[in-house]
Amino acid sequence: MSERRPAPPALAVPNLADAIRIHAAEQPDATALVEVSETRRTLSWAELDARVTTAARALAEQGAVAGQRVLIEADHTLEAVCAWFGALRAGVIAVPINPGLTDEELIRVHRHSGSVFVLSNGERELEGVRRVALETLTRAQSLIEVIPPQDGEAIAAIVYTSGTSGQPRGAMLSHRALVAHCESSWTHGITHPGAKVLCCLPLFHMFGLNAVLGAALHAGSTVVLVEGLRDDLPAILRSERVTHLPLTPSALYRLTLAPDIDSACETIELVTSGAAPLPGALATHWQRLTGIPVQQGYGLTEAGPGVATTVGAEWQGPNHVGVPLPGVDLRIGDGSDPIEPGEVWIRGRNLFSGYWPDGAEGPDADGWFATGDIGYQAGEDLFLIDRSREVIIVSGFNVYPAEIEEVLEEHPDVESAAVVGQPDEQTGERVVAFVTGDSVSSSAVLSFASSRLARYKRPSELLVIKAMPRSPNGKIRKTLLRDLLDQTDEDDL
């Protein structure tokens, strides 16, 4: 059983950026942000609040107005964090993007969102989009008054995840939804003032962006920004005296390989795993190495992202994801028989407002949203056993087979393509592709796909087969393809 300290009443703010202003007034000289890169840089709460206001003013000077969509290339720098909170304070709609997107993927997101600015340290140009260097947001020529949006239902961000059709789907997160998750985290005792929280998870993913960065700053914790899972991370944990370690299972696995991980975790109070199922063997191995249990979290982009956690509950194995967070209602199917596996439905103030641009497929009239995950409940405890949507989770990132299949089938030699996920010790799952065609070269098709897909979406293996196994109605039988993977290691079948 993990210990939870009693939480004071959560900050009631209409805009997440308002929390920074409150902490700046209460503890102006305390450290809010630490960036560990080639050099170590810090911002106090007073400095962070001033930088966020400057970023909001600079956006206004650039011509950005409330409601416009602004792409933000999300990396682990002080400037990127100030840009994110500056956008929230200015009332523009932030669209965090993966710096690793290919040009085609970036253009697709830009066109779909209708973004007019991109805040980036990169040099890629987009037609019809004004690029503003992140450094530009550190200075403003005027003292334009910035009034943060007070309407909690105003859209704060559009966070993209590929849809089952392979087309971009932008989940619209309101200010209310972002704050609601942070309040739940605080109330449940996951975050607290004085904590030092590692933030190395991607800031274009809701886990890193709001479950880590947002929740920590909302609580008044110090956030330690690190780009990715560096080789010297154990030394950073030690030198920064990190207390909270949120990671994906794949990142947790890589950290277990560090020779001095036990001594590096001497100040760690809480380890949480999310974005993908936590293997029981990994949880046991981590606790054996460090003496610290791993807590599992369950969430999704559309929930801002928190749904359930094992923090404060007894973990009951790899399928167990704990109890619902405060303010989150949960039911299985129609709610009549929670112990019978069915689709997980959720309701709460943390839910999104539907998909951009028209709010389609959002919560129903009673506020319920179908997660696409299959599970059951024993009392309040939630257990997940399957996913009803055909999604592969690679290092915590959702990968949709249809998107990859569409790219593969654009190759002139590929007749048909099917993509499945396979368990992988390091990444949770890996992407495996099957293709048909008379003269297909595996290496040529993989090279073709690499130029069109972000790294985590690329197939780790491509198998050429004579024909796709299909059902009587023509649907590819992916179960048989998965069985085939267990039977052969050959490139050509």
Same domain as 360, residue 286: yes
Domain containing residue 212: CATH number? 3.40.50.12780
Residues 381 and 413 in one domain: no
Q: Are both 180 and 257 inside the same structural domain?
A: yes
Q: What is the mean pLDDT of residues 402-409?
A: 86
Q: What is the pLDDT of residue 127?
A: 83
* pLDDT of res. 316: 86
Burial of 488 (0-12, 13-18, 19+ CB in 10 A): exposed
Residues 176 and 43 in one domain: yes
- 8 part of a folded domain: no
**Residue 487, pLDDT above cutoff 50:** yes
Residue 50 has a pLDDT of 96
In this predicted structure, what is the pLDDT of residue 163?
45
- Whole-angstrom Cα distance, residue 265 to residue 393? 27
User: How sure is the predictor about 474, in pLDDT bands with cuts at 50, 70 and 90?
Assistant: low
Mean pLDDT of 130-148: 87
Identify whether residues 319 and 457 lie together within a single domain. no
Instruction: Confirm whether 234 is domain-assigned.
Output: yes
Residue 490, in any domain of the structure? no
* 257 pLDDT more than 70: yes
The answer, yes or no, to whether residue 420 has pLDDT greater than 80, is yes
Each residue of 448-466: pLDDT tens digit? 999 899 999 999 999 999 9
Q: Domain ends where: 386, 408, 431?
A: 386
**236, part of any domain:** yes
CATH number at residue 433: 3.30.300.30
Residue 402 has pLDDT above 90, yes or no: no
In a domain, 492, yes or no: no
Measured CA to CA, the distance from residue 430 to residue 354 in angstroms comes to: 29
| Whether the Cβ atoms of residue 432 and residue 448 lie closer than 8 Å to each other | no
**H or E element at residue 390:** none
406 plus 327 within the same structural domain: no
In three-state secondary structure terms, 452 is: coil
Q: What is the pLDDT of residue 492?
A: 37
Query: What confidence category does residue 387 fall into, taking pLDDT thresholds of 50, 70 and 90?
Result: low
The pTM is what?
0.82
Q: Is 293 exposed, middle or buried (0-12, 13-18, 19+ CB in 10 A)?
A: middle
The confidence score (pLDDT) of residue 489 equals 41
- Separation CA 376–CA 344 (nearest Å): 8
Residue 371 has a pLDDT of 94
CA dihedral of 184, 188, 189, 192, whole degrees rounded to 10: 20
pLDDT, one tens digit per residue, over 332-380 is 999 999 998 889 999 999 999 999 999 999 999 999 999 988 889 999 9
pLDDT band of 470, cuts 50, 70, 90: confident
- Write down the pLDDT at residue 473: 52
Please give the residue that has the higher pLDDT: either 100 or 295: 295
- How far, in Å, CA of 453 to CA of 36, rounded? 29
* Residues 305 and 416 placed together within one structural domain of the fold: no
> What confidence score (pLDDT) does residue 286 get?
94
Pair 56, 121 in one domain: yes
Residue 366, Cβ density class (10 Å: 0-12 exposed, 13-18 middle, ≥19 buried): exposed
Using the predicted structure, report yes or no on whether residue 166 has a pLDDT greater than 70.
Answer: no
Would residue 10 count as lying in a domain? no
Residue % of the chain over a pLDDT of 70: 93
Are residues 380 and 439 part of one domain? no
| pLDDT value of position 8 | 59
The mean-pLDDT minimum among 2-11, 148-157, 214-223 falls in 2-11
Closest CA to 227 of 74, 380, 42, 65: 74
Mean pLDDT of all residues belonging to the chain: 89
Is residue 298 within 8 Å of residue 275, measured between CB atoms?
no
347 and 438, same domain (yes or no) = no
Mean pLDDT of 68-74: 94
**Of 362, 386, 410, which marks where a domain is finished?**
386
The pLDDT score that the predictor gives to residue 165 is 43
Is residue 5 in some structural domain? no
Q: What is the pLDDT of residues 37-59, one digit of tens each?
A: 989 999 999 999 999 999 999 99
Query: Across residues 396-420, what is the average pLDDT?
Result: 87
pLDDT tens-digit series, residues 291-311: 999 999 999 999 999 999 999
Is residue 7 pLDDT above 60, yes or no? no
Q: Choose one of 328, 360, 386: the last residue of a domain.
A: 386
Residues 371 and 464 in one domain: no
Domain containing 440: what range?
392-485
Assigned domain for 7 exists = no
The closest alpha carbon to 433, from 456, 413, 458, belongs to 458
Same domain membership, residue 398 and residue 380: no
Confidence category of residue 490, pLDDT binned at 50, 70, 90: very low
- Whether the predicted pLDDT of 270 surpasses 90: yes
The amino acid at 38: E
Share above pLDDT 90 across residues of the chain, in percent, rounded to a whole number = 66
Number of separate domains in the chain: 2
Q: What does the pLDDT read at residue 76?
A: 95
pLDDT band, residue 121 (cuts 50/70/90) = confident
